[in-house]
Amino acid sequence: MYIGFRLKETTAGVVFFQNTHRSSLQEVLDLISGKYVDNIPSDSLKNTVIDDLLAHLDPHSVFIPAKEVDEVNEELAGNFQGIGVEFQLFSDTVNVLNVVENGPSYKAGLQVGDKIIKVNDTTVLAGKKLKADDIRKYLRGPAGSIVKVGILRDGSPVNVNITRGTIPVPSVDVAYMMNATTGFIRINKFAETTYEEFMFAMEGLQKKGLKQLVLDLRGNGGGLLSEAADIADEFLDDNKLIVYTQGAKVPRFEYRCKRDGLFETGKLVVLVDETSASASEILSGALQDWDRATIIGRRTFGKGLVQQQFQLTDGSALRLTIARYYTPIGRNIQKPYNKGKEKYEEELINRFHNGELVVGDTSKPVGPAFKTPGGHMVYGGGGITPDVFVPFDTTAQPDALNQLYFKGTLSSFVYNYYIQNKSFFKQFSTPEAFAQQYKVGDKEWSALVTYAQKDSIQLGGLPEKVKTGFYPRLQAFFARQIWRTEGYFEVMNPKDVMVTKALENISKQ
């Protein structure tokens, strides 16, 4: 054994000790690399082959190049390392929209309205056609490292040294009491910190008298299955089954309730739409199967596949589908993908064209029907079908208003209007006070009309109904500028049709 081991060690690379069998795929790659008429980057060729291979599997198995792995992992980590500001490019200048409270930039004295001109004296940011990702690369870095930032504040240059740190990326957008007994929580994704954030939010609301809850999962594309299961555990009692996974090469694995939940008996409504996917569907599906919550909204995306990420030797990664997940009564809500990835991605658009998003009942899911313990009919094979349908708002919105979003004009206007009227907005201490005491009117609209003309957007001729109908949204964007997502939803929710429907449902339970 010793002689054999030493012989292999000293003859590394000799064919006798290697697997001489190569696949035809590897042979073709080697021949192209070694013999092809033109030079082709080997990484580019391999990535193309891998992508084509995965395209024959399912829409959610993906290859992640090495340079993108850290960024992809950050999305689920719930934090990143950087300086702690939210910025946006206006007129080729980096403007600070928000400074994370108690974060590195906050401690260094950066303020909303500062313009970042230079980084480390050598890199000039102002006046260049930079992308947001390029700017992040200059500002982000390992926690503890120092970056020197040159800013323009009220027309005067200021240099600030910022010690980078770990910046949280919240999963819970907002948690507040809508009235004396009804709470509202919105979760935007399921990351490593989501359950912890959720518990903190719930405990805070219970101290304020929470008896019934509206849980908003609209637009939540999913994330970590385990986080969704832990949150479901807070709503379900005993050792109820929450979800189970199973694949051809992966045995059945069950997620069950394992602790006493914070909210096992109070009235519960869950809001979903066509962009609620994956872990969002696991949570809403479990609550629907056990007749624990009323699901309100529109049929969810329909992703019932489980991915596991595998690290590859060159630093890249493969996120491979290894199993399907099933709701407690056995539903797999994965929508069909046998017509290719392109058709799969067009499915949401087809829902709009076939009228489902407007009338709901005209297009039933393709899968079988199931009956819950309480006798309600639910469906598999294509998302979670809500108990109460709320149609998509098809109110015609003029192209001019759409252009405000597409060109970034609205964000730019809200920011600049806030900076110019900062002393006025500072009189409002909370989003609740702001919603009650401040109303957008003709003054703000006139300012927006003038500002939009810079981007060749003409708002002056819009009908009065369209104009006044836009006022509440503009007010919510001002609230977002001041209090971020918390402000936006606290101000916008009273005008939200789906939230209104949820409150009506709770009052009837």
| Interval 332-361: pLDDT, tens | 999 999 888 889 989 998 888 888 888 775
Tell me if residue 8 is catalytic: no
> How much of the chain, in percent, has pLDDT values that exceed 70?
94
pLDDT grade, residue 138 (50/70/90)? Answer: confident
Tell me if residue 289 is catalytic: yes
What tokens does 305 get?
């596949």
Q: What is the pLDDT of residue 150?
A: 93
Strand 93-99 relative to strand 85-90, pairing:
antiparallel
Tell me if residue 363 is catalytic: no
Q: Is 279:226 a contact under the CB 8 Å cutoff?
A: no
User: Among 114, 216, 289, 387, which one carries the catalytic annotation?
Assistant: 289
Q: What is the pLDDT of residue 323?
A: 95
User: Among 267, 303, 335, 501, which one carries the catalytic annotation?
Assistant: 303
Q: What is the pLDDT of residue 396?
A: 63
* pLDDT at 315 > cutoff 50: yes
For residues 467 and 459, give the distance between their C-alpha atoms in angstroms, rounded to a whole number.
9
pLDDT grade, residue 131 (50/70/90)? Answer: confident
For residues 300 and 281, give the distance between their C-alpha atoms in angstroms, rounded to a whole number.
7
Query: CB-based burial of residue 126 (10 Å sphere; 0-12 exposed, 13-18 middle, 19+ buried)?
Result: middle
Which whole number is the average pLDDT over 387-396? 84
Q: Residue holding tokens 């730019």?
A: 412
For residues 215 and 178, give the distance between their C-alpha atoms in angstroms, rounded to a whole number.
12
For residues 277 and 300, give the distance between their C-alpha atoms in angstroms, rounded to a whole number.
6
Which whole number is the average pLDDT over 130-153? 89
Q: Is 245:226 a contact under the CB 8 Å cutoff?
A: no
| Interval 83-106: pLDDT, tens | 999 998 887 889 999 999 889 999
pTM of the model: 0.89
Tell which residue, 328, 331, 286, has the closest CA to residue 304: 331
Q: Indicate left, alpha or beta for 170 from its phi (over 0: left) and psi (-120 to 50: alpha).
A: beta
What tokens does 51 get?
């992508």
User: Among 105, 171, 278, 316, which one carries the catalytic annotation?
Assistant: 278
| Interval 43-69: pLDDT, tens | 777 888 888 888 889 999 999 998 889
Which whole number is the average pLDDT over 124-134? 81
